[in-house]
Structure 1
Amino acid sequence: IFNLQKKFDLLHEINRNLEAMARQLYDYWFVQFDFPDGNGRPYKSSGGRMVFNESLGINIPLDWDVKRLNYYIESNNTGDWGYDEPSENRVPVGCVRGADIVKLNDVPLRYVKKSNTHKLLTPYDIVIEVSGGSPVQATGRCAYITPGVIERNYGRMTCSNFCHAFRLKNIEDSAYFYFLWKTLYDNNIMFNFEGKTSGIKNFMTETFLANKWYFAPKDIQKLFFDRVSNIYSIIDSNVSEINLLVKQRDELLPLLMNGQVSVMPTAVNCDLFKT
């Protein structure tokens, strides 16, 4: 049991480090502008040309686009909380709430009408919390829906009514868009785009999406997507292993407590049990 806990802790720490690596890569490429140039060298540090963009009021790399955020979004789907119980015209789905955005694991099982399956999430959608928050926590938190997230949450997912799901025109833009959104959120920008109705804070999604920002050329965003996808593939694999270990622990602990299973004195790992 104790060795299981050590393995949990190790996998969680690995995932934290991997997430930090992905965030650092975004910062290095798209904040410091040291993405790989044509020779594989860091662009800005190697003398890459920067130009002043009047609409943003900052210097950005030559040949980068400036467009409204909504230009990159194909659809903005509202959520569907569904029903507690199954029926003939409903399908089981995992449903992402605001409370699930951080962990994206073990989300509630719900049942949505077959007529609403167009609201199901697809890989690399980005889920945004649009209602809720608190005086110290803005609305607008985001989640990146990788294939592994869908796989470990019943194989089909939607989001709740308090969330929206963005599907981008090109999934290879999704990693950049997600980290851009997350960076703006972490810098408290979303507090400036909140309204209140009936005492509940609501994110002004369309107003926010009308803002302009810079976007790298397609080859840079694709390269970033490929690297981030590899990182999240490892993260998702680790989460699946954690879930399996949790199941083993939960099955073993009651047996250990009532004496049906004992730990051998010479045990050095979690596989050495006898009944």
Structure 2
Amino acid sequence: MKKELLGDRVELIYGFSVRTDNEPKGKYPVYGSNGIIGFIDSFKVKGPGIIIGRKGTVGAVTYSSENFTPTDTTYYVALKDNTKDDLKFWYYYLQLIGLDKLNSHSTVPGLSRDLAYLKEIRVPEKAEQKLIADFLTVIDDKIALNKRINTELENLAKTIYNYWFVQFDFPNNEGKPYKSSGGEMEWNEELKMEIPKGWKTKSLYDIAIYTNGLAMQKHRPNGDEKLPVIKIKEMNEGYSAATEYARPDIEDAYLIREGDVLFSWSASLNVMIWADKVGALNQHIFKVTSEFYPRYYFYHQISNYLNHFKLMAENRKTTMGHITIDHLKESRIVVPDDDSLILKCGERIEPILDLIVKNRMTNIDLMEVRDFLLPMLMNGQVKVKSEAKEQLSIAAEPQVKYGK
């Protein structure tokens, strides 16, 4: 592979001044510097295409498989010679060459196009580019499929839960939906609504244990052994190069494992089921457990109550949500009088949640493999052997080993 300059092969073109709130809604994505920011009914660029963050998230690379509009905080990429280059290959290659380091502005981060054009590159011939791109696309397609499956599974679990405990159409003694079949209801003055006869009110605090994380800056690693720290950013986005670390000898109560429920109670209100490697829980996040109720039940109860908590924060006219133990004690939810109903529903929902976690963990493994192979594919250290997308394999140099 001969040495060239980036500007010899691609052109970075300024995006367009467009605001999604001023445009009719539609099916075409609008891209900001870090991905899709909305959809409108027209487009500026015929897809597929590559978008690069110019302002804000400098150097972030996104791929659109359809027609799209890049905003003026981005560049979009045009290949100078389609006979020499494969667009999808360049989507992967541009992630590796350090565009995020080419910041030419001191106050607002900005990607310098002139500096980018001077970047030295070495790329293979188009035939090999396509093999590499096809191989990496197979991995990304599997990741995308797992995400779509999980979206459907999450909706299914939520639907079952709501059907039983919000609409009160759990199976009665005859297997028919309770409320729709005329099941006896009674007025609850505290909740200002009808609930199944015999059901009672409790608080979120009554059904679960909320363990706040530690100030992990006081538990910095003092040797090679360490655990990644789970802050709100990690909770929402997963581990990254910016993730901090803590000593591994912290109490077990503050260790987070796959399948644990996390509830961020400050700044960003959210509840989720953790699906990543073991980490150390930072402050501002509750680890939620229960001695009496299954995971799915308190997870969905908290999820359903989040909008109420967010409204509380909005009414205090602050952007920072801040949920305290007192708020959890003051919350009011309706709970069945018979715990067997909760356990019976869990037989349906818990396997769904387990599959969601499994799919997320699979995606993490796939992303690790992809990111490990990506630079070696680009520099020729690893070669793709076959064009068959269904049976893609790689031939690595003997000294190359993959290890987690």
Kept in 2, the 8 Å contact 1:130–1:163? The answer is yes
Structure 2 counterpart of 1:241, which letter?
T
Kept in 2, the 8 Å contact 1:64–1:214? The answer is yes
Is there any run of 5+ residues in structure 2 with no aligned partner, and where?
A: 1-135, 397-404
Over aligned residues, Cα RMSD in angstroms? 3.1
Q: 2:178 aligns to what?
A: 43
CA distance in 2, matches of 1:244, 1:106: 13
Segments ≥4 residues shifted beyond 6 Å: none
3-state DSSP of counterpart to 1:269: helix
Q: Does 1:65 align with 2:200?
A: yes
Kept in 1, the 8 Å contact 2:246–2:280? The answer is no
3-state DSSP of counterpart to 1:101: helix
CA distance in 1, matches of 2:376, 2:257: 40
1:68-217 to 2 correspondences below 5 Å? 68-73=203-208, 75-83=209-217, 85-87=220-222, 92-102=226-236, 105-106=238-239, 108=243, 110-112=245-247, 114=249, 116-121=251-256, 126-133=261-268, 140-145=269-274, 149=275, 152-154=276-278, 157-172=279-294, 174-185=295-306, 187-192=307-312, 201-216=321-336, 217=338
Q: 1:24 aligns with which of 148, 151, 159?
A: 159
Kept in 2, the 8 Å contact 1:193–1:207? The answer is no
CA distance in 1, matches of 2:386, 2:236: 39
CA distance in 2, matches of 1:229, 1:102: 22
Q: 2:384 aligns to what?
A: 263
Structure 1 counterpart of 2:153, which letter?
L
Structure 2 counterpart of 1:202, which letter?
H
Q: Number of residue pairs matched?
A: 256
Q: With a CA cutoff of 8 Å and minimum separation of 6, indicate the structure with the bigger relative contact order.
A: 1
Q: Percent identity at matched positions? A: 24
CA distance in 2, matches of 1:63, 1:122: 37
CA distance in 2, matches of 1:176, 1:271: 42
Deviations 1:10-63 (A, max 9, x none): 111111111111111111111111112223222112221111112111111122
Shift of 1:199: 9.1
Q: 1:246 aligns to what?
A: 367
3-state DSSP of counterpart to 2:286: strand
Kept in 2, the 8 Å contact 1:127–1:159? The answer is no
Q: 1:112 to 1:76 in 2, by over 3 A?
A: farther
3-state DSSP of counterpart to 2:389: coil
Return the TM-score normalized by structure 1.
0.78
Larger Rg: 2
Q: 1:4 aligns to what?
A: 139
Q: 1:243 to 1:69 in 2, by over 3 A?
A: closer
Is there any run of 5+ residues in structure 1 with no aligned partner, and where?
A: 134-139
Q: 1:35 to 1:95 in 2, by over 3 A?
A: farther
**Greater helix fraction, Structure 1 or Structure 2:** 1
Q: 1:220 to 1:109 in 2, by over 3 A?
A: farther
Shift of 1:188: 4.6
Kept in 1, the 8 Å contact 2:227–2:245? The answer is yes
Kept in 1, the 8 Å contact 2:386–2:393? The answer is no
